[in-house]
Amino acid sequence: MPRLESRTRVPLAIAIIAPIAAVAFTLIACAGLIIWAGAPVGHAYVLLFDGAFGSRFAIAETLTRATPLILTGLAAAVAFRAHFYNIGAEGQLYLGALAAVAVGGGAISAPPALLFPLMMIAGAVAGGLFLLVPALAKTRLGVDEVVTTLLLNFIALLFVSMMLDGPMKDPLSMGWPQSVGIVPELTFGKLIERSRVHSGLIIAIVLAVVLWVVNARTTFGYEMRAVGANARAARFAGVSVNSVMLKTALLSGALAGLAGVGEVAGRAGYLTLDMSPGYGYSGIVIAMLAGLNPLGVVLAAVFVAGIIVGADSMSRAIAVPTYLADVIVAVSLLSMLVATMLARYRVRWS
């Protein structure tokens, strides 16, 4: 019978080996599916890697994908760290995008130097305020935030749909539910020539670093970590748990809202209802993969984006469905969670 004994400290070697072992296990486990699909395993993985990181174009595509994922990953990481389970990043992302279009769609005339920050702030505020509702319901009435944030996603999407079919519909869209475009002076600059990588990537990475610093070095970061690690003890020590929870919710929602701003002003140019293929939900996976560490979120987002982009290009070359990307991400999350858990224990055979 194997028995688990907990370690007092995780040795560095094991802390490094654990994630590598998890990825290796994922690739081995998913090989079965590739064989099942009738493709050569080695070739498929080479194509997957090439499609994600094998060329300038591939890297650019992966980074473009990673940009919103970093922000939604940060949104989940910040909230989860304080034990506030925000499942609603998808809805906050769409509201952030909608607010960006409202400000940057040409309806307001002001110098771009003023309008650009205003557009960013509007997106962040829209996402933040939208998450404030379930946060207040949780702190005041004890309503479970998992349920409310999840359900608010549908409300947000329906609201956006209503706006895109109504007041904010682009008159030149030939009947498609889509918004007017962001005016060209307000769109994000391109980072790489002839690619879709935009300066939103820089913003996302800077925010990850800022959050890491906030966590480690500021009083507010201390309060968030204290509340997340042990809310009862934090309250005993005089931390106002509710106020920290509300601030955290505002921050988390704002990050998801910014993801929406980046997508609409950096990549798509205008807002449609299929702008996000579930970035808000993927953010949760990324945050968990990263162990809720803001810097880890950047790596995890690039990893997940690479799998998605790589699987796309792989499936174009050989007959393996793109769904394999979802399976790989899911298996890697599970094996990463098991690996980090096992890293904290020692297995004894008796």
Partner 1 sequence: MEAPALQLSGITKRFGALVANDDISLDLGAGEVLALLGENGAGKSTLVSILFGHYVADAGAIQVFGQPLPPGNPKAALAAGIGMVHQHFTLADNLSVLDNVLIGTEPLWRPLSYRREARAKLLRTSQQFGLTVNPDARIADLSVGERQRVEILKALYRGARILILDEPTAVLTPQEVEALFATLKTLVADGLSIIFISHKLDEVLAVSQRVAVLRQGKLVAMREAGATSKAELAQLMVGRRVDAPVRLANISQGGARLSVTGLAAGEKLKDATFEVGRGEIFGIAGVSGNGQAQLADALCGLLAPMRGEIRLDGRPLAPSPRTFIGAGVARVPEDRGTVGVIGDLAIWENAISENYRDAQYSRYGWRQRAAAKEQAKRIIEQFDVRCSGPDAPARSMSGGNIQKLILGRALVREPVAIVANQPTWGLDVGAVSYIHSQILAARSRGAAVVLISEDLDELFAIADRIAVMFHGTLSAARSDWTIAQIGLAMAGTNEAVHASA
Q: Which residues bind partner 1 (CB under 8 A)?
A: 1, 8, 217-222, 225-226, 229-230, 232-238, 240, 350
Comparison of 12 and 319: residue with beta carbon closer to partner 1: 12
Comparison of 109 and 219: residue with beta carbon closer to partner 1: 219
Comparison of 97 and 214: residue with beta carbon closer to partner 1: 214
Comparison of 158 and 213: residue with beta carbon closer to partner 1: 213
We find the least distance from the C-beta atom of residue 344 to partner 1, in angstroms, to be 12
We find the least distance from the C-beta atom of residue 82 to partner 1, in angstroms, to be 13
We find the least distance from the C-beta atom of residue 77 to partner 1, in angstroms, to be 16
What is the spatial distance between Cα 350 and Cα 344, in angstroms, rounded to a whole number?
19
- Parallel/antiparallel/unpaired status of strands 2-6 and 345-349: antiparallel
3-class DSSP state of 122 = helix
What is the spatial distance between Cα 173 and Cα 182, in angstroms, rounded to a whole number?
14
Comparison of 57 and 220: residue with beta carbon closer to partner 1: 220
We find the least distance from the C-beta atom of residue 348 to partner 1, in angstroms, to be 9
Helix ranges restricted to H, 230-293:
231-236, 241-262, 279-289
Measured between alpha carbons, how far is residue 144 from residues 91, 151, 255 in Å?
17, 11, 21
We find the least distance from the C-beta atom of residue 5 to partner 1, in angstroms, to be 8
Cβ neighbours around 200 below 10 Å, total: 24
We find the least distance from the C-beta atom of residue 50 to partner 1, in angstroms, to be 42
Virtual CA dihedral for 44, 48, 53, 58, nearest 10 degrees?
Answer: 120
What is the spatial distance between Cα 53 and Cα 56, in angstroms, rounded to a whole number?
8
We find the least distance from the C-beta atom of residue 61 to partner 1, in angstroms, to be 39
We find the least distance from the C-beta atom of residue 236 to partner 1, in angstroms, to be 5
In this structure, are residues 89 and 285 in contact, taking their beta carbons and an 8 Å threshold? Answer: no
Length of the chain: 350
Comparison of 36 and 349: residue with beta carbon closer to partner 1: 349
Measured between alpha carbons, how far is residue 19 from residues 11, 16, 141, 312, 339 in Å?
14, 6, 40, 24, 7
Comparison of 114 and 237: residue with beta carbon closer to partner 1: 237
First to last CA, the chain: 6
Comparison of 202 and 231: residue with beta carbon closer to partner 1: 231
In this structure, are residues 182 and 100 in contact, taking their beta carbons and an 8 Å threshold? Answer: yes
